[in-house]
Amino acid sequence: MTRLKPGDIKDIDAWLTRCDQELKNKTGCSLTGIACHALDCREDVFRKKISSVSVGVVPIASGQGIIGGFSTAVCAIAAHIGARAFVTGRHDVAGIAEAAGKGADVILMADDHRFVALNIREGRTVDNAEATALGFVAGLDLIAGGLKNKKLLVIGCGPVGRFGVFAALKRGADVSVFDTVSVRANRLKNEIEEKLKTSITIENQFHPALKKYSYWLEATNSSGIIDETVITPQTYIAAPGMPPGVTAPAAAALGNRYLHDPLQTGVAVMVAAAAPAKIRNNHG
């Protein structure tokens, strides 16, 4: 799992104000709208109810330790979609106890291995990898005018790519996958056949594959693997991968056909998905 750097998240507050406009230009939705689209819940009802949800963000000092600005950024995103969010003064177990003592319904915390939203009332956990995949596939669905029957290439069969395949299949996409480690792609193909009784295609060569698809979910931890030479006017990319797999010139060439952020989409979907069921279960 890629570990964010303070430099990746230093402008979250500024970005959040700018992002809703950018997202609306691209998808027609704000960050809250993307989260609601990802979870198939009505945004108007969600917006009314989310303010009743208390979210405690707990810094975790284990392993490689606390990332400067991480908890503050996570808290700002949770507040931006309307939750009552706070960062605990204490970290680790003392922080978890503090959050619970302050009435948090949901606790957000990340160590070196997992980043989860834990609903302590319902005993439910939402993982950042699944939430990120749901959010970026929802965004791609919006910028692509619907993924149903569209051929989609998922690049990277790690946790985010794997959840991305499930999310895209659920939206009716015709999914293919590529991974530099072929056993990962094969394992995912077998899992999809077992669990969903449907098949996905494995692409074995990266650049020849890119030429065959207009819709890509880039979910790798490889920097700069997609440059402007492979971008066409028909290319649409949702790119949760960190560090960014799409170069700056390629992102400029894509314009509104490109979605990427280091944390916001995943956290917005985590908070929405971890919110009490009465808030989410108002299907659009």
The distance of closest approach from Cβ of residue 51 to ligand 2YC in the complex, given in angstroms and rounded to an integer, is 25
Examine residue 263 and tell whether it contacts ligand 2YC (CB under 6 A).
yes
* Residues from 34 through 63 that contact ligand 2YC (CB under 6 A): 59-60
Report, in Å, the least distance between residue 73 CB and ligand 2YC: 9
CA distance 120 to 103: 10
Q: Is 16 in the site for ligand 2YC (CB under 6 A)?
A: no
Q: Is 221 in the site for ligand 2YC (CB under 6 A)?
A: no
Amino acid at position 247, single letter: T
Closer residue to ligand 2YC in complex, CB, 115/166: 115
Which lies closer to ligand 2YC via its Cβ, residue 70 or residue 136? 70
Q: Interface with ligand 2YC by CB under 6 A: which range of 2-10, 79-87, 100-108, 141-149?
A: 2-10
Mark 60-99 with x for binding to ligand 2YC (rule: CB under 6 A) and - for no binding.
x-----xx--xx----------------------------
| 269 touches 35 (CB < 8 A) | yes
| Structural contact between residues 103 and 89, judged by C-beta atoms closer than 8 angstroms | no
Q: Give the whole-angstrom CA distance, residue 178 versus residue 250.
A: 20
Site string for ligand 2YC, 113-152 (x = CB under 6 A): --x------------x------------------------
Residue sitting closest to ligand 2YC (CB):
4
Query: Shortest distance, CB of residue 206 to ligand 2YC, whole angstroms?
Result: 23
E-strand ranges in the chain read 54-57, 84-87, 106-110, 115-119, 124-127, 151-155, 174-178, 201-202, 215-218, 236-238, 258-259
Say how many residues touch ligand 2YC, by CB under 6 A: 16
| 273 is a site residue for ligand 2YC (CB under 6 A) | no
By C-alpha distance, which of 129, 125, 135 is closest to 156?
A: 129
Q: Which two tokens stand for residue 103?
A: 């009435």
Q: For residue 32, give every residue at least 6 positions away whose Cβ sits within 8 Å of its Cβ, in sequence order, or none.
A: 43, 46, 47, 50, 80, 81, 82, 268, 272
Residue 100 sits in the site that holds ligand 2YC (CB under 6 A): no
CA distances from 3 to 94, 135, 182, 207, 234 (A): 23, 20, 24, 27, 32
Residues that bind ligand 2YC (CB under 6 A): 1-4, 59-60, 66-67, 70-71, 110-112, 115, 128, 263
